[in-house]
């Protein structure tokens, strides 16, 4: 392989991982600020201007905390749980198209760590592995509250992955590809999938809340019942890994929502910007457009947390199995009928 390609991909991978970690870190600051705004408070304002250094202070605090290990026969698994949760949260960012391409040093550089033709399948596969990190950590903690929280998280994530996968099938029937780059490219201008598949978007959005264990789906770590949930016995940076993974997953799921349904890096007038300002400037603006879209979803996550109370466990399962899954199947059937009708009309020359 050409050494230039290796350097190019290495730089992109490091940049993507750094962006994911930075966004996860500052999502904690943003969550506090949003909560303060909704509750008519000030929020973090001590560590740096506007409290911008608060995430660094929190990280230093977690790093300096004393490590506590419960009396568990599974010490290795106790360490592996947070590592799996953290690594899967970072790995999902590899297939996301952050823009079209930049023309630098006589080369076209794709703004994507790797362009897999099964990128969406890769995303679902890595996300499904993340449940092992939670389950292993809860089981290895040798604590009944941790185990109950882990079982809740596992059953919740497995249940809502079914509805999430079914909601995407209708979208794939329209796009005809699993490549996230091609799905983004098909949404040029304002030709966004959310206008053609609004029900898929709503189902995917609800399932994204459940997959990231965010309120009102945070039954795995509700303080009133389970103390801290699956990470009750964790302290210092191991607990920080779990908390970091939650915010990283929130960032990635927001980006996936923007890519699948809101055009990704596409924006109105992008073709005009390419012709008049050049490819580089147009695609830098495209990255900014994607960033604004995903920040909107992150704000929505935070807004819902401080607005809606959590479900009961039976309500959560009822919503997943008896409402979202049937709706997803109905949406697939309707999409299939519409596509078949269109193809028949085209074949007959109507």
Return the SS3 of 101: strand
Classify residue 105 as left (phi > 0), alpha (psi -120 to 50) or beta.
left
Eight-state DSSP code of residue 109: E
Do 234 and 72 touch, CB atoms closer than 8 A?
Answer: no
Domain chopping of the chain, boundaries: 59-348
At residue 88, φ and ψ (nearest 5 deg) are -65, -35
- The count of other CB atoms within 10 Å of the CB of residue 78 is 21
Does the predicted model carry a pTM greater than 0.85? yes
Q: Is the dihedral of CA 248, 253, 255, 256 positive or negative?
A: positive
User: How far is residue 330's CA from residue 201's CA, in Å, rounded to a whole number?
Assistant: 14
Q: List, in sequence order, every residue forming a beta bridge with 270; answer none if it has no partner.
A: none
Cβ-contact 66, 235 below 8 angstroms: yes
In contact, 33 and 51? CB cutoff 8 Å: yes
The reported pLDDT for the residue numbered 296 is 95
Q: Do 298 and 30 contact (CB within 8 A), yes or no? A: yes
CA distance 58 to 56: 5
107 bridge partner residues = 104
Residues of the chain with pLDDT under 70: 1-2, 73, 222-228, 350
Number of neighbouring beta carbons within 10 Å of residue 308:
11
* Residue 227 confidence (pLDDT): 67
Place of tokens 């009822």: 318
Residue 87 DSSP SS3: helix
- From start to end of 96-166, where are the E strands? 101-104, 107-110
Helix orientation angle between 3-38 and 279-305, rounded to the nearest 10 degrees: 40
Please report the pLDDT score of residue 155 as a whole number: 87
């Amino acid at each position: 392989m050409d050494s230039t390609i290796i350097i190019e991909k290495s730089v992109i991978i490091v940049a993507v991982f750094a962006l994911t970690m930075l966004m996860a870190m500052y999502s904690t600051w943003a969550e506090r600020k949003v909560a303060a705004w909704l509750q008519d408070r000030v929020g973090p304002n001590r560590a740096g201007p506007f409290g911008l250094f608060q995430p660094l202070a929190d990280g230093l605090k977690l790093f300096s905390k004393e490590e506590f290990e419960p009396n568990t026969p599974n010490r290795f698994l106790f360490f592996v749980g947070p590592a799996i949760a953290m690594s899967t949260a970072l790995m999902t960012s590899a297939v996301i198209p952050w823009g079209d391409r930049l023309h630098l040093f006589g080369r076209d550089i794709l703004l994507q760590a790797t362009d897999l033709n099964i990128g969406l399948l890769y995303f679902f596969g890595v996300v499904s592995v993340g449940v092992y990190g939670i389950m292993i950590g809860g089981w290895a903690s040798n604590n009944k509250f941790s185990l109950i929280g882990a079982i809740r998280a596992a059953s919740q994530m497995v249940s809502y992955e079914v509805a999430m996968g079914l909601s995407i099938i209708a979208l794939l029937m329209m796009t005809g590809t699993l490549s996230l780059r091609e799905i983004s490219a098909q949404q040029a201008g304002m030709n966004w999938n959310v206008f053609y598949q609004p029900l898929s978007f709503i189902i995917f959005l609800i399932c994204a809340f459940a997959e990231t264990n965010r309120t009102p789906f945070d039954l795995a770590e509700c303080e009133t019942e389970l103390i801290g949930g699956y990470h009750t016995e964790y302290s210092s940076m191991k607990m920080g890994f779990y908390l970091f993974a939650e915010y990283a997953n929130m960032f990635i799921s927001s980006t996936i929502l923007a890519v699948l349904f809101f055009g990704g890096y596409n924006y109105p007038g992008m073709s005009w910007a390419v012709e008049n300002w050049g490819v580089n400037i147009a695609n830098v603006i495209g990255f900014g457009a994607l960033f604004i879209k995903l920040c909107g979803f992150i704000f929505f996550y935070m807004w819902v947390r401080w607005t809606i109370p959590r479900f009961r466990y039976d309500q959560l399962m009822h919503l997943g199995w008896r409402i979202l899954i049937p709706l997803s199947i109905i949406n697939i059937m309707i999409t299939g009928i519409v596509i078949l009708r269109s193809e028949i009309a085209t074949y007959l020359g109507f």
